[in-house]
Structures are given as C-alpha cells and as structure tokens.
Amino acid sequence: MTEFGYFLSCEEFTPAELIYQARRATRAGFTRLAISDHFHPWNDAQGNSAFVWSVIGALSQVVGMPVTTLVTCPTVRLHPAVTAQAAATSSVLLGGRFALGVGTGEALNEHVLGDRWPSFEERADMLTEAVEVMRKLFTGDLVNHRGRHYTVDNARLYTAPDGPLPVLVSGFGPKAAELAGRIGDGFVTMTPDADLVGAFREGGGKGKAVVGGVKVCWGRDREEAVDTVHRLWPTELLPGELAQLLPTPAHFEQASELVTREQVARAVTCGDDVEEHAETVRAYARAGFDEVYVGQVGPDQGAFFDAYRELVLPTLGY
C-alpha cells in the first residue's frame, strides 16, 4: 500500500516554519516526511535555503515520523565522507527512521566552491563511487579508499547507524533509473511514470522502494492559488536539463519568464477540488510508487493540513 508523506521545502520556508509544518503533518495524518537539500533557492521569491542537516536534527526532537532527504548531492559541494557522517548522525537521532535520498545534483547548488560542473555521465560515475564510500563508512569500520574521484584516509564513523541506512537514488530518465536499480536501495523520481518505474525494476530494483513527490496549492480561490505557484515555483515546469545546468537563482528567474500562468494552471493541482487533489496523488500509486510526498506551495499551510486531514486523505482511504 502506498504511504503518503509531507514534503518540507527548505527553499521556501524558514527552519521554524518547517518544524511547524512537520508537527501539523503528523496531526493531519501523514506518516512520513521528506525534506529538500539546497544551498540556494530556485529563485529569490522562495527566499530561503537552510542547512538541511541542522533542520533534520531539530525534526528528530519534535516528530516521530521517518525522514528522507529528497535529495542530497554527495559528490561536489560535500565530500561523501562528510555526507556519510551527517546521514549517520541523522539516522541515530531518528532511531533508524532515516533514509538518504541522493542524486547527481544541480549546478545551482554545487558550483558554489568554484568546482567545474561535470557532464551527467561523469556525475553518475561520481555518485556511484560516493555511494560505495558512504556504505563502507556506515559500517562503522575503518575505511581507506583510493578511487577515481575520492580519497578517504583512515576514516571511521564512531557514531554509526544502528542498522541499515537506506540509500535512495534519484533520476528522471531511463539511464538514471537503471543506475538507481544498480546502486540504490530505492528510486526517487518526481513524475508518476510507470515506464520509468519499470526501467528501475528491470535494472535491479525489484523489491526496492519507489519514492516520489508532488507540489500542489490548496486554496479556496483557484486563480489565486495558480498565481502563487506561478510566482514561487515556475521552475517546476522548465524543460530538459535546464534545472541541472543553470548556476544561479537569477538564471532560473530569466528562464522562468518562458513559463506562462496558463502552463502552471494546466500542470499543477491548484484550488479546493478534493477529487482533483486525490487523483493527483492516486496517479503515483497507480504507477507503482511506494511513497508519495505532497508539498503545499505558499503560506496557507494551515488550510492545506486541515483539508488533507478532513477531506483528501480520507478520500484516499488513508
């Protein structure tokens, strides 16, 4: 049975607001949390970008739900050994209820130290090695590693996970799905694409979790909700590899001028139609997803949680 969680957006909300949302998500009936990991927001209108590992530490003290990063890039801005330590500590704080979602990243977040931004093929190779390094460190054993991309010298995690720490791999195309099947404990993708799920299963993902996320904007005034999404998240509708290649929020703002309000209205679930919201989530269940995380765009979080508690989640039989 598909589980429904809430998606915490570090790009749009302050740490205190994220903690509030996590508490509300528990009371609304969501059973899991996902949280984004960004150095920059996608645009200045979003206005935030907290350090995710600090927020996860705070979450561990106020909620009992599992938490998953969607997603962390452990290859450029953070060395995989440092990411492994952060993930291991998060797992310990959450009593083992932590999963590390990882991906090949975006230049938006990873260019900040002045590193060259590699091609997808090189980034995929880096991610493969990074996952290998992190899995070695999660054992708590002494690790020495000399690889193509990373060196680890006499490193040991003394605060190691007490049990398995799942590593979920993000992807948006068949190559990435196959990579996730090969090196991951699960697959993260943001569209309810049954063919992509099939590629993951065929690539080694049989019996492994498929995880997705979707943004909506619950609101009594549908037109106002569309305006909110168009202002804050037009980047969701940018095509192709732009999201991986553009380096600054200003570049995303320029590209987003091509995204029309009408496109947002067609693509994003906005307003207070209960069946439309429920159907948006059902599409992921039909495509074979095990976990779906719903994120509310904009400031009206209270109305969203009330509506999902009283109307949407019961419609889903949850």
Catalytic amino acids? 38, 106
Is residue 40 within 8 Å of residue 108, measured between CB atoms? Answer: yes
Q: How big is the chain by its Cα radius of gyration, in Å? A: 19
Distance separating the N- and C-terminal Cα atoms of the chain: 10
Is residue 180 within 8 Å of residue 202, measured between CB atoms? Answer: no
CA proximity to 131, closest of 167, 174, 176, 87: 167
- Contacts for 131-136: CB closer than 8 Å, 24+ residues apart: 131/74, 131/80, 131/102, 131/167, 131/169, 131/183, 131/184, 132/183, 133/80, 133/81, 133/84, 134/74, 134/80, 134/81, 134/83, 134/84, 134/87, 134/100, 134/167, 135/167
Which amino acid is residue 121, in one-letter code? E
Please give the Cα distance from 187 to 197 (Å, whole number).
8
